[in-house]
Structure 1
């Protein structure tokens, strides 16, 4: 019998269990409605930009970076120059740079598994996985199946809904019209709150938020994401060293 999702796998047992994968699927299921709507919106936007269905599905399947995909469409050009390619690369790299910090925060957990296994599950690593994994590990969980199950489910839904959006066109091109764009922010807030560790942990959060807001005011684009994240991480590191 496989280990329970919230207990470390015993010696000789598989590091990923079916129970863990199902737990990850259940934890991420609350996000599915929002993911479907945003994937439909991306598919519709890709069709409007002139991408083929194959190209659209290929981007969702292999790039698999929802926010970065939507941002790249905003910068899409009918004719490409090397400067335009470099510009879109810098913007999407900035948007996705937060994943470096998120992955680093869970490195002590990931390091116990093989490089091949880590390479596989990190392909499906998203903000939702990180929040789910962070909370799950804080509660004593060790089964990497939680991340794999959540990631695979989200990826599959994202790709399928992208195709649906492409065929439906602009039917749901603006998720804000239905208020469904609030699903993911609410989910993130609900997952982060249990990680609260008292007033001492509030300082890095406040610093990250303020720096991100100021950066967004002063610098166009998405630099505020990485600047705010780094500010919070550095603040937290210095406070831990001073303790």
Structure 2
């Protein structure tokens, strides 16, 4: 029996486009859709409480597409926009989103042989959950670009509309703790760690990153805990010898 072309080693099959990878890609990200909906719902409510218009919310959802960075930016939104406050917001957004540059770089062995317009436009769809699903697919030898792009488009469309009910129901969501909306983000990211589990040793950088982030958050005001936690986790992972 010949192995499936989707699951052959990537050193045998280079990236290709085949529409039969779309549905499996959508199935792979399906478990992430409820979390994405809740995430967007909470963001829409936050924007309404900050007096954004629905049009402004949808523009941010469409062109920033940053998840956690959008929360950070809106929570830090000043009463008056100036050059300095805009620069601060840009720096905050860049800091939180810098992980997407690393995720995109990790996909280069897969998408790097495509024409630039296909490769770089595909990277606009990189998200935490989508990247995780795509990475697992690639580790099993998958090479169909539609697997990543098809699932990514569906995730993007769900994200785009998810803030609308949150915005419209902001009055009922004035107290996030009442409905557990405040737990959406930590629960979402904690759930992402489950399929990434590769044993206690590989989890050491997670513990180091979390410990450093919590310590800095307690000692230093602002969002430096994000940067410090990311650096600590990356450095510790890099220093660990391969098994």
Alignment TM class, shorter chain as reference: 0.7 to 0.9
User: C-alpha separation between the residues in 2 aligned to 1:56 and 1:33?
Assistant: 20
Q: Does 1:63 align with 2:64?
A: yes
CA drift at 1:157: 0.6
TM-score, normalised to structure 1, is: 0.82
Identify the residue that residue 111 of structure 2 maps to in structure 1: 110
User: C-alpha separation between the residues in 2 aligned to 1:124 and 1:133?
Assistant: 11
User: C-alpha separation between the residues in 2 aligned to 1:80 and 1:87?
Assistant: 10
Identify the residue that residue 86 of structure 1 maps to in structure 2: 87
User: How many pairs were matched up?
Assistant: 237
Gapped runs of 5+ residues in structure 1?
none
Distance 1:216 1:147, change over 3 A: farther
Identify the residue that residue 225 of structure 1 maps to in structure 2: 226
Gapped runs of 5+ residues in structure 2?
none
Q: Does 1:189 align with 2:193?
A: yes
Identify the residue that residue 19 of structure 2 maps to in structure 1: 18
Identify the residue that residue 235 of structure 1 maps to in structure 2: 236
Offset from partner CA, 1:86-129 (integer Å, 9 cap, x none): 22122111111222222233332232322211221211111111
Identify the residue that residue 40 of structure 2 maps to in structure 1: 39
TM-score, normalised to structure 2, is: 0.82
Identify the residue that residue 75 of structure 1 maps to in structure 2: 76
Q: SS where residue 131 of structure 1 aligns?
A: helix
Computed over aligned residues only, the root mean square deviation of the Cα atoms, in angstroms, reads 2.9
User: C-alpha separation between the residues in 2 aligned to 1:12 and 1:211?
Assistant: 41
Offset from partner CA, 1:132-152 (integer Å, 9 cap, x none): 122222222222222212221
Q: SS where residue 79 of structure 1 aligns?
A: coil
Identify the residue that residue 156 of structure 1 maps to in structure 2: 157
Distance 1:213 1:44, change over 3 A: closer
Identify the residue that residue 208 of structure 1 maps to in structure 2: 209
Q: How does 1:116-127 map to 2 (within 5 A)?
A: 116-127=117-128
Given that 1:94 and 1:226 are in contact with CA atoms closer than 8 Å, whether structure 2 keeps it comes out as yes
Identify the residue that residue 131 of structure 2 maps to in structure 1: 130
Given that 2:15 and 2:144 are in contact with CA atoms closer than 8 Å, whether structure 1 keeps it comes out as no
Offset from partner CA, 1:156-195 (integer Å, 9 cap, x none): 01111222322333334555544461651343022212xx
Given that 1:21 and 1:149 are in contact with CA atoms closer than 8 Å, whether structure 2 keeps it comes out as yes
Given that 2:6 and 2:141 are in contact with CA atoms closer than 8 Å, whether structure 1 keeps it comes out as no
Given that 2:217 and 2:224 are in contact with CA atoms closer than 8 Å, whether structure 1 keeps it comes out as yes
User: C-alpha separation between the residues in 1 aligned to 2:176 and 2:17?
Assistant: 35
Structure 1 moving runs of 4+ over 6 Å: 8-14
User: C-alpha separation between the residues in 1 aligned to 2:119 and 2:178?
Assistant: 38
CA drift at 1:230: 2.7
CA drift at 1:33: 1.5
